Amino acid sequence: MNEQVFRKGFGLKDQVEQDLAQDYRSQLVERIRAQGNVLRVGDLTFRLAKEFGFCYGVERAVDYAYETRKHFPDRRIFLTTELIHNPRVNNCLREMGIGFLNGPGAQDVKLEDLEPEDVVIIAAFGTRVGEMNQLKERGCVLVDATCGSVVLVWKRVEQYARDSFTAVVHGNYKHEETRATVSRALQFPGGRYLVVWDKKEAAQVCDYIRNGGDPKAFLALFREKSSPGFDPDRDLQRVGVANQTTMLSSESLEIAQMLKETMIARYGAEQLAQHFRTFDTICSATQDRQDAIQELVKEKVDRVIVIGGFNSSNTAHLCEIASQYAPAYHIDEADCIISPQQIRHKPANQSVPVVTEGWFPAGPAVIAITAGASTPNRVIGDAIERLVRAKGYSFDQLNPA
């Protein structure tokens, strides 16, 4: 087996810098930042959150993908799945001739069709242990763009499994990151996992720990969200909490507290360490963006535009936070702003985009802008420009910030 795994790029960042700037940077966004994150055009005032858009892990993954194409100009290159959850980025990679083995846009090429000279980029979410082993067995060149924050969660889950604690993961069991994370638990004989989506599901787990119940009924609720052979009577005696890194931080902390209090009630405070562990595995970039939009929307704003892929977990949670304070619209591209009368968006806590009529207020308006950690500045700038022009203004009408 000829195993080659690259985890630190190829030292070609300077050579791809111009392409990255052309595809993803925005002079308008840079100008707004230089003006204290405020832009005024006519009677519109745009206020950018202090933290938004590309995080370090996403920038690193995108850099690696571009460097990979530069380093292997004549090789077939594939991604395990979407590099990140942003349509602009993934479309750019397709245009560069990079294929997808799984997920939206997957081609006819399957993992078993890969040859040793092929190059495979591991997406920022990481990949399941089994798939990684299969790729190594194929002898492909692997470029590992897994986010460092995700790897930290894996280490925590692996430690739980070594110590025979069930990993209770707050996340979406269908999400690539969560699937990769829970696969780490199964590497060890005592490894078990359970995925909870929200506080309601966590409360069902807590109730079973406190009061017991029908194992078959429990498994009917969590069949797709638990490890093979899961036995709630056995596997909920010792639990360790972890998170998908992009979840709503406040909810993750509440779920951990719910489980902690449940274990104290069931086993006593003096036995807590034998039955419960926790570690905050929300990534700092996710937390920073959630804190920033929370701070911004507490000011007087008329509308909030949240920009990011419709399948982006961290973007969806930004919309969820913002919608508690003002009408908030999660869009994935500038063309979602159809006109001042119509907008295509994904409402908070819903999974399907809709078109809303009469979404924009008449007269002066303050618009808060934020974006998920996988959203390029260019997409943000395009959205602002589109709204400015849809209102009939030009950038010749800029007012001092």
How far, in Å, CA of 189 to CA of 283, rounded? 28
Alpha helices (H) in 25-85, listed in sequence order: 27-34, 56-71
Contact present, 259 and 205 (Cβ < 8 Å): yes
Other C-beta atoms closer than 10 Å to the C-beta of 126 total 25
| 67 in catalytic set | no
Amino acid at 147: C
How far, in Å, CA of 306 to CA of 293, rounded? 10
Q: Is 146 helix (H, G, I), strand (E, B) or coil?
A: coil
Contact present, 89 and 376 (Cβ < 8 Å): yes
Q: Is 215 helix (H, G, I), strand (E, B) or coil?
A: helix
Other C-beta atoms closer than 10 Å to the C-beta of 265 total 12
Contact present, 84 and 150 (Cβ < 8 Å): no
Please choose, from the candidates 102, 120, 95, the residue with its C-alpha nearest in 3D space to the C-alpha of residue 22. Answer: 95
Contact present, 196 and 168 (Cβ < 8 Å): yes
How far, in Å, CA of 376 to CA of 59, rounded? 9
How far, in Å, CA of 55 to CA of 289, rounded? 10
Point out the catalytic residue in the list 131, 177, 320, 333. Answer: 177
Catalytic residues: 177
